[in-house]
Chain A
Amino acid sequence: MIPKLKFRSLLMATAVAATGLTAPAASWAETLRVAMGYDPVSLDPIATSDNGSIWTQLLIYDTLIRPDKSGTGLEPGLAESWTVSEDGLTLTFKLRDAKFSDGSPVTAEDVQYSIERAGSKASGWGRFFNPITGFEIVSDHEIVMTLDKPFTPAFNNLALFAAAILPKKLLEEKGETFFDAPVGSGPFVMADWTRGASITLEKNPYYWQAGKPAVDEAVLEVVTEPSARAIKLEAGEVDVALDPPLNQLDALAAKDGITTGEVIPYRADFVLMNTTREPFGDVRVRQALNYAVDKEALVKGVLYGRGKPAASAMPVMKYADPGLAPYPYDPAKAKALLAEAGYPDGFEAELVVDSGKATSRNAAIALQAMLQQVGVRLKVQMLESGTQWQTTKAGNYDMAVSYTTSDTIDPDQIIGFVAVNPERANAYHTQWQDERLNALYAEERRTVNSPEREAMFQEMVQRLHDGAPFVFLFHPATAWAERDYVKGFEILPTSNFRLEDVTLDK
């Protein structure tokens, strides 16, 4: 059905050039080429947590519900409608008439299988889904999920990429090899995957949104160097460049035929402090470092004004407290706190940084100069991305520049990750612990969405702010640049992008 593009387009172009005729528009296969900075690791939704994999999966698979484009609510995905019982213990979903890309129908059985798999021990995201303990298949198109005890995030978690609905029969048949050429019900189907180079996605002919996607093919090209993505866009080799260097954005926007866009997604950047190591066990030291960092200058100098200073490690999202102010820049106070903690002359510490991330790199260099002013001497250690992550995860660090993004619109995921200990990441590997916060977290998960739940989040974030296991830096904007003829592309607050609405108006 779908013509093999490149060769055919080439033939067509030659023919047109030779005869001077205009080719009928319909016979042109349209390809959208996107330059992306990440190389996806795996297309198994329960085994991944890197952005490249997640974004690609979200183009291939569907979830029952999904965050809407504004990032403030949930909208129907494979589920046409749903009801959540008053006590939050029963979730009922009505499925739409949808098909996988191999033509087989999406059934309630596939849903049960996929959610059970996401909640299984094999899943990296098990805790998000295992509170759902019961499944009742009412019909092919209706499924009821039940919980033993209240777990408010359960519903929202079904909008997470890890809850992608996969074809049970095929997956059971093929095992792990399924994910080399996966089948989903999303707008695209994988046609080719050359690791480290590109992923070619073709239009899913059975996609449930009639007439979508508008393009026949989407190619995600892996281009890790941000400048190279911008250059490729300028040269016309790609139609969209994700994450061009922020400093080049104005220059790109001024170019003929190029438009840029930006959004502040659900993201927070910060410096982890290993609270099991001296002197970071002392809250006064941690607060001192927060006072010693000029966040406004960082936003200006590192983000080129594209972002805002951060007051905590929670992105600006649902239930965030807009009144919570970042630590003011106050080197005198920082010095006083350090002196009080027994470090009047400061101290020396090592800061590990992902050498591949320009924002982190530049933030580290700026931090080094800023902390020098209060006597804290940072030894910057640039490490390759994977090594930096492993080092941090294993707790072999003093300080580390990092960030977090939220894949969902409910802050439960983020708080659990950055603030709760013991939990998945033990307060993002800082080992910081706050009993009251832990209690609030447990409580929040039992409380239905309400002003009370909101108040709990705000108290947790306040405690995180005061306990300061991180040096809170900023919420950076994410940008993209595109050729003028690309219509309808945007990066969502959840950091991913959808391509089914994108058209090429050449």
Chain B
Amino acid sequence: MRILKDLLRSPAGALGLGMLALTLLATLLTPLLSPYDPFALDFGNTLLPPSQAHWFGTDNFGRDIFTRVMAGAVYDLRLALICVFGPMAFGVMIGLISGFFGGRIDAALMRLTDIVWAFPFYVLVLAIVGVLGPSEANLYIAFFIVNWIGYARIVRGETLLIGRLEFIEATRVLRFGKAQIMLRHILPNAVTPALVYSMSDVVLTVQAVAALSFFGLGVQPPAPEWGLLIVESIDYMREAPWMTIAPGLAIVWIGIAFSLLGEGLSVALKPKG
């Protein structure tokens, strides 16, 4: 609760949280309020420009783009959150173990991160999805394999640092159990920078998911995932630019929201005093 208060006190955090709340609200309300089905074809109303009836216009199948972009938020947010927080949980634990125990365990785990780190992000994700085949589940697998590295490294560094602080020395002297020291005393302090990093990671992941759909390796049609909306709009970009602009703006919007939230979090989570 204190964190939330601090977060709301910072202008960036408040704005980011507000934007996200608005997005969630709109996503939840659109199916109730919009008269359109995001999947139903209507060949009588194709490629209509934005109007009062169709806020973002219609696409080549006559589907309402506003409704589709809103329905797409569910896909992109779900993908981004699972692709970030799943690997994050794993990465944090690895980092904690690595930093706490040190020695051979640390060396082995860090060499493993080096290996994954050596590949450019997209090359590795493309290779994994390419082998497994395009589907949402495989996208999760690919991101999981690649995304935990960053968190492991951050948390390891923090753990090393915190492990040398006096209050941890104190827990050792008091003969606290290893698990207790790690989970109760180091983790809460070490996880902060990882949490801040995760916000910018969400932004990158939304973009990456959209990009993979763009290559045909992500979510499959007719899902209104934003990257897919953009790839489907390519041939119509010149006569119906709204088909491209609307999902493009959605990606930018959600990117800004999470960036601001990350900014706010970094302020709110900064140790006091």
Cβ-Cβ contact count across A and B, 8 Å cutoff: 61
User: In the bound complex, what is the Cα–Cα distance between A109 and B170 (angstroms)?
Assistant: 97
Given the known interface contacts A297-B43, A362-B60, the answer about A384 and B216 at a Cβ–Cβ threshold of 8 Å is yes
The residues in A between 376 and 430 inclusive whose CB is less than 8 angstroms from any CB of B are 379-384
Given the known interface contacts A247-B60, A382-B216, the answer about A366 and B41 at a Cβ–Cβ threshold of 8 Å is yes
Residue A346 at the chain B interface, CB threshold 8 Å: no
The residues in B between 118 and 159 inclusive whose CB is less than 8 angstroms from any CB of A are 134
Q: Which residue of A lies closest to B219 (CB)?
A: A382
Residue B234 at the chain A interface, CB threshold 8 Å: yes
Given the known interface contacts A247-B60, A369-B39, the answer about A380 and B221 at a Cβ–Cβ threshold of 8 Å is yes
| CB atoms of B41 and A383 under 8 A apart | no
Residue B34 at the chain A interface, CB threshold 8 Å: no
Interface residue count for A (Cβ, 8 Å)? Answer: 27
| CB atoms of B221 and A364 under 8 A apart | yes
Residue B235 at the chain A interface, CB threshold 8 Å: yes
The residues in B between 219 and 260 inclusive whose CB is less than 8 angstroms from any CB of A are 220-222, 232, 234-239
| CB atoms of A369 and B40 under 8 A apart | yes
A381 / chain B contacts, CB cutoff of 8 Å: 134, 220
A370 / chain B contacts, CB cutoff of 8 Å: 41
Residue A191 at the chain B interface, CB threshold 8 Å: no
| CB atoms of B61 and A365 under 8 A apart | yes
Given the known interface contacts A366-B61, A369-B39, the answer about A380 and B236 at a Cβ–Cβ threshold of 8 Å is no
Residue B23 at the chain A interface, CB threshold 8 Å: no
Rounded to whole Å, the gap between the CB of B81 and the closest CB of chain A is 24
| CB atoms of A379 and B60 under 8 A apart | no
User: In the bound complex, what is the Cα–Cα distance between A362 and B235 (angstroms)?
Assistant: 11
User: In the bound complex, what is the Cα–Cα distance between A245 and B239 (angstroms)?
Assistant: 12
Residue A248 at the chain B interface, CB threshold 8 Å: yes
Main secondary structure, interface of B, reads: loop
Main secondary structure, interface of A, reads: helix
B239 / chain A contacts, CB cutoff of 8 Å: 247-248, 251
Residue A355 at the chain B interface, CB threshold 8 Å: yes
| CB atoms of B46 and A301 under 8 A apart | yes
| CB atoms of B221 and A227 under 8 A apart | no
User: In the bound complex, what is the Cα–Cα distance between A383 and B217 (angstroms)?
Assistant: 8
Q: Which residue of B lies closest to A382 (CB)?
A: B216
B221 / chain A contacts, CB cutoff of 8 Å: 361, 364-365, 368, 380, 382
Which of A358, A365, A366 contacts B235, CB < 8 Å? A358
Residues of B with Cβ closer than 8 Å to A?
39-41, 43, 46-47, 60-62, 134, 216, 220-222, 232, 234-239
Given contacts A369-B39, A370-B41, 14 further A-B contacts (CB under 8 A): A227-B235, A245-B235, A245-B236, A247-B235, A247-B239, A355-B216, A361-B232, A362-B60, A362-B61, A364-B221, A368-B221, A372-B39, A379-B220, A382-B216
